[in-house]
Amino acid sequence: MQGNASNWLWMNDVSGKSRPRLLVITPVYNEAANLDRYVAETTRTLGTSENTDIRFLLIDDGSADGSWAKIEQICRDNPAFSGLRLSRNFGAHLALTAGMDHVGPDVDVVATLAADLQDPPDTVLRFLTEWRKGASIVWGRRRTRRDHGWRRLVSMLFENLIRRYAMPRGSKFTTGSFFLADRRVVDCFKEMRESARVTFALIAWTGFDQAVVDYDRASRTAGKSGWTFGRMIHAFYDVVMSFSQMPARVLTTVGLATSALSGAALIYLVGIWLFSEVQPGWTGIMATMTLFFGVLFLMLGIISEYLYRILLETKKRPLYFVARSVGLQSEGSQLEP
């Protein structure tokens, strides 16, 4: 089932379609300390756009620090803002999915923006420039970033591996969920309802004409980033398992290599038995068993991972639940995948 876009209701709607409509989607998880600055900066840089009608949708991903109370107040004070609160913490990628599902039929283009404003809001205006030139997807690429060296190194390694083994050839994607997508791309994104979701990978997989905008990433000024090393590993793992044939091909290659080694070892052992005196070889036997059992369990582990993902997809559970909303037509709605 596709996202229930018909539930969307623009507040204080502007008549006519002389200006394109942009919806900025922002996941929020324990960002109460950043929301006032977020509203001030986005209102200053994006709210005064003369050639685009820009609105904002804040997705509270089960915050426990009062973020939802702030979102409700923001939406009451400023009709350009609307909000959703998910029933629990589902993760940033499912929060973005909830936002995409609530894109109404009168929205022409969608952009994502982090609540901590490490990705500068004025870059969205440069996204719009590329969109007007004909790009259906515009990626934000970090030219500089004020992060720890290990984070930059790991991010670069992951991007290179994903680009080589998982994403479509020629895609201009960048890791991280800072991008702009045309309405056609959003509609394609809504059709993909798998449980293991990485937003940038799903957007990149759609194809379409793409452009890249370079920007300088700022430091976080308040709160703590939820993008930990463990989550980086998990995202990379999800992309590889969901979009790449590499694990299956590795299994096949290892299996063929193991079979070849086994055949060579068998020929050698038979030769020893035929032409020389057989000596007890406990060390060699144990080493051989250890090697092949290790390979076998590696194969079983990867196969089990695929089976588990198949199980998740066959259950067809809803991707998320909406607990409350503000500025939307349907209060307390529940969406299904």
Q: What is the pLDDT of residues 99-120, one digit of tens each?
A: 999 998 889 999 999 988 888 9
Q: What is the pLDDT of residues 167-222, one digit of tens each?
A: 677 777 776 788 999 999 999 999 999 887 888 888 988 989 999 999 887 655 55
Q: Specify the pTM.
A: 0.70
Give the dihedral of Cα atoms 30, 35, 37, 42; nearest 10 deg: 120
pLDDT for res 166: 64
Q: With CA atoms as reference, report the closest residue to 196 among 240, 250, 137.
A: 240
Chain-centroid distance, C-alpha 82: 22
pLDDT for res 50: 77
Separation CA 298–CA 156 (nearest Å): 27
Least confident of 4-18, 261-275, 319-333: 4-18
- Which residues does 90 contact at the CB level (< 8 Å), separation at least 6? 61, 62, 98, 319, 320
pLDDT band of 271, cuts 50, 70, 90: low
* DSSP 8-state class, residue 270: H
Whether pLDDT at 64 is above 50: yes
Whether pLDDT at 160 is above 50: yes
pLDDT for res 1: 36
Element of type H or E holding 56: strand 53-60
Separation CA 335–CA 337 (nearest Å): 7
Give the dihedral of Cα atoms 225, 138, 27, 192; nearest 10 deg: -120
Q: What is the mean pLDDT of the chain?
A: 77
